[in-house]
Chain A
Amino acid sequence: MSFNLEIITPDQVIYNENIDLVIMPGIEGDFGILKNHMPFLTYLRLGLIYIYKEKKIIDSFLVNTGIVEVTNQSCVLLTEDIVRSKDFKSSEKNDEMDQLKTKILKKIYYS
């Protein structure tokens, strides 16, 4: 029961794979997308995206706002600021945003 998830930034398509479940930090609360979700459009707040396949987390991203469009068989995330959780390094400035991001990364997993 997989569907296609695409994560697109202005520079490149950073993720384009078939997955089972994705959990995203929506503006009104976290939500999960499974196959055959109804068409859905929302935007994200700062938070973590978890990607599941065969009941395991296979990847996670740290995202800072973005737009999610879910259509019949696919889910597209457009975002300007996203990084793989494990690749995140706080920049030299270490401003408020960086501290928030570091804090969020330390959060324990869902489930």
Chain B
Amino acid sequence: MPSLKDLRNRISSVKSTKKITSAMKMVAAAKLKRAQNNAEQTRPYAKKMSEIVSSLVKNQGSKEFKFGERKTKNVLLIICSADRGLCGGFNGSIIKFSKKLSMELSNKGLNISYIFVGKKAYFSLRRICKDSILENFTDIANPSVEFDLAKTIRDKILKLFLENTIDECHLVYTKFKSAISQTVESLQLLPLKQQELENDKESVNQLYDFEPDEEVILNEIIPKNIAIQIHTALLENLASEQGSRMTAMDNATRNANDMIDNLTLFYNRSRQALITKELIEIISGAEAV
């Protein structure tokens, strides 16, 4: 049975842990708000871009183009995770998803290479896929996700794609649904899935005048579209991380509260027991005299 002093120490240590978790929760909530705002602000650009691309691809018909599909042999996975831990199952589910995905792909006999964004997935997957890691970007959200990062990644994958080093490129990220619910998803960046874009939505089929011509514009627009897709994914990933951390820290604070209650109860009981024991000793001592 722990002594009273032990119990007191234990209670005070749980209390200070609680202080940390509740502070982290509040910080995460503030950061989540900011991340959501940022994600909100890119929406007009992304929306307009996808409208233009889908109407262009529709007009294009089934003509072959630079970023079209070809026989797949080498696949590039871009895996976005967080730079820090203490955010519940966030990094864990990304890692699990990536492992599953790369297993599926390698069972099909494809070569996989990786680009990591964020430290956590890199640290836990680097041993499994050490030779096939092309690059690792860290400190991405410091203080906020810059569009330049998306551009750098975009340039890199386009270069690899046009050199025929890779034939397919997927982006693994966490889609933000709400502060308490996020799902890991993979998004195919390259090659373009024509059919998906065509069935995207009932966009107004405008008859445009093109300058210089459709194909050139399409080849110019697609890299921009890829960059914004990466950027949006990174922002959603960041929002998800903060959301997930907020929930995790909220739970931790609540658990700490429960623990303090239990420990305090136990402490008071033992204290009372000790007092009663002493009294009994004194009384029986007095009776003996």
Enumerate chain A interface residues (CB-CB to B < 8 A): 8-13, 26-28, 38-43, 67, 69, 71, 76, 78, 80
B212 touches A40 (CB 8 A): no
Interface pair B49/A78, CB less than 8 Å apart: yes
Q: Nearest CB to that of B228 among chain A residues? A: A10
Q: CB of B73 within 8 A of chain A?
A: no
Chain A residues whose C-beta falls within 8 Å of the C-beta of B231 in the assembled complex: 10
Q: A27-B212, A40-B208 are in contact. Are A11 and B41 (CB under 8 A)?
A: yes
Contact (A40, B52) CB under 8 Å given A10-B228, A11-B41, A80-B147:
no
- A13 to B147 CA separation, bound complex (whole angstroms): 15
B49 to chain A: closest residue by CB: A78
Whether the pair B224, A8 counts as a contact (CB closer than 8 A) is: no
Q: Report the Cα distance A47→B56, complex, angstroms.
A: 25
Query: Do B209 and A80 touch across chains, with their CB atoms under 8 A apart?
Result: no
- Chain B count of residues within 8 A CB distance of the other chain: 26
Given contacts A8-B44, A10-B147, is CB(A39)–CB(B209) below 8 Å? yes
**From residue A32, how far is it (CB to closest CB) to chain B in Å?**
13
| Contact present for A12 and B210 (CB under 8 Å) | no
Residues B210 and A78 in contact, CB atoms below 8 Å apart:
no
Contacts of B224 in A (CB 8 A): 67, 78, 80
A10 and B45 form a contact (CB under 8 A) = yes
Query: With A11-B147, A27-B212, A41-B209 in contact, is A69–B42 under 8 Å at CB?
Result: no
Which 4 A/B pairs are nearest by Cβ-Cβ distance?
A: A42-B211, A41-B208, A40-B209, A10-B147
CB pair B52–A39 under 8 Å, yes or no, is no
Known: A10-B231, A67-B221. A41 touches B210 (CB 8 A): yes
Cβ A41 vs Cβ B217 within 8 A: yes
Could you jot down 29 A-B contacts, CB within 8 Å? A8-B45, A9-B45, A10-B45, A10-B147, A10-B150, A10-B228, A13-B44, A26-B211, A27-B211, A40-B209, A40-B211, A42-B211, A42-B212, A42-B217, A43-B220, A43-B221, A67-B49, A67-B220, A67-B221, A69-B208, A71-B206, A78-B45, A78-B48, A78-B49, A78-B52, A80-B147, A80-B151, A80-B224, A80-B227
Chain B, range 175-218, C-beta contacts under 8 Å to A: 206-212, 217
Work out how many contacts link A and B, with CB atoms closer than 8 A. 65
Cβ contacts under 8 Å, B52 to chain A: 41, 67, 69, 78
A10, B41: Cα distance in complex, Å: 7
Q: Which residues of A contact B46 (CB under 8 A)?
A: 10
Q: Across the two chains, which residue of chain B brings its CB closest to A26? A: B211
A77 vs B68: C-alpha distance when bound (angstroms) = 26
Contact A43–B48 (Cβ < 8 Å): no
B197 to chain A, nearest CB (A): 16
Question: How many angstroms between the C-alpha atoms of A26 and B212 in the bound complex?
Answer: 10
Q: Which residue of A lies closest to B204 (CB)?
A: A71
Contact assessment for B220 and A28 in the assembled complex, using a CB-CB cutoff below 8 Å: no
Nearest to A31 among chain B residues (CB) is B211
Please, which residues of chain A bring their CB within 8 A of the CB of B207? Answer: 39
Taking the nearest CB of chain B, how far is it from the CB of A96, in angstroms? 17
Q: Measured between C-beta atoms, what is the minimum distance from A51 to chain B in Å?
A: 19
Give the nearest-CB partner of A27 in chain B.
Answer: B212
Q: Which residues of A contact B211 (CB under 8 A)?
A: 26-28, 40-42
CA distance A76 to B55 in the complex (A): 15
- Report the bound CA distance from A80 to B49 in whole Å: 12
Are B42 and A11 in contact, CB atoms less than 8 angstroms apart? yes
Report Cα–Cα, A28/B217, bound state, in Å: 12
B48 with A8: CB separation less than 8 A: yes
> How many Å from the CB of B146 to the closest CB on chain A?
9
Residues on A with C-beta less than 8 A from B212 are 27-28, 42
